[in-house]
């Protein structure tokens, strides 16, 4: 019985060979009062991971931890027909300058409740109960998946490998986020840094 249960649970992680991998158009936003594009190790970690995973970086930005600057950049990408996924890093803790949830949650059409729960579970396996101090979350807005991660490179790598990457692969069964995203469109890579 236990073997059968393990085989059944294992089948949920299997890939279907009939569905081809579809590279997605992804933007990366770093939220930080101290980093620049040159010192943005967390944003760069996400870029390296998404590109090595076969996806396309079509936008990159860095803004300070201001609700309205975060909301402005994310809103622009949500409205862009080419952007299918937005990854943010930073601003998900409990300090006075951690404003990512307050900035982005009002923009969402639907919250992906299980995303934050799964991230914190995986994080707790690595860093113990400190994992509960992350307010990481994800949601959908205008058929764009927005995943908000903590500001450390380690948390970005963990979130990508354990939570995000499998759900951005159309081969993942029994379900993934591909059917919920905008249709594929091309766009040039952009990078900007806002410090106003």
Of 16-20, 35-39, 149-153, the range with the lowest mean pLDDT is 16-20
Domain ranges of the chain: 23-193
Task: Name the residue among 26, 37, 36, 43 with its Cα closest to residue 151.
Answer: 43
Whether residue 8 has pLDDT greater than 60: no
Determine the pLDDT at residue 126: 87
Tell whether the model's pLDDT for residue 50 goes beyond 50. Answer: yes
d(CA 21, CA 54) in angstroms, rounded, equals 9
106: pLDDT strictly greater than 60: yes
CA distance 165 to 75: 23
Q: Mean pLDDT score of the chain, rounded to an integer? A: 87
In whole angstroms, what is the distance from residue 190 CA to residue 38 CA?
15
Q: What is the mean pLDDT of residues 16-23?
A: 71
CATH of domain 23-193: 3.40.980.10
């Amino acid at each position: 019985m236990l073997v059968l249960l393990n085989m059944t649970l294992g089948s949920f992680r299997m890939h279907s060979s009939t569905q081809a991998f579809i590279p997605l158009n992804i933007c990366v936003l770093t939220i930080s009062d101290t980093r620049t594009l040159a010192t943005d190790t967390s944003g760069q970690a996400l870029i390296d991971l998404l590109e090595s995973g076969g996806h396309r970086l079509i936008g990159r930005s860095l803004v300070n931890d201001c609700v309205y600057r975060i909301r402005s950049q994310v809103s622009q990408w949500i409205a862009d027909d080419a952007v299918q996924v937005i990854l943010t890093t930073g601003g998900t803790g409990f300090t006075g300058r951690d404003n990512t949830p307050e900035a982005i949650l009002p923009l969402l059409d639907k919250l992906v409740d299980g995303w934050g729960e799964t991230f914190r579970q995986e994080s707790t396996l690595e860093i113990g109960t400190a994992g509960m101090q992350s307010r990481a979350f994800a949601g959908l807005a205008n058929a764009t998946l927005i995943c908000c991660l903590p500001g450390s490179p380690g948390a970005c790598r963990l979130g990508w490998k354990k939570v995000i990457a499998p759900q951005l692969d159309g081969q993942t069964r029994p379900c993934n986020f591909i059917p919920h995203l905008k249709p594929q469109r091309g766009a040039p890579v952009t990078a900007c840094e806002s410090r106003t």
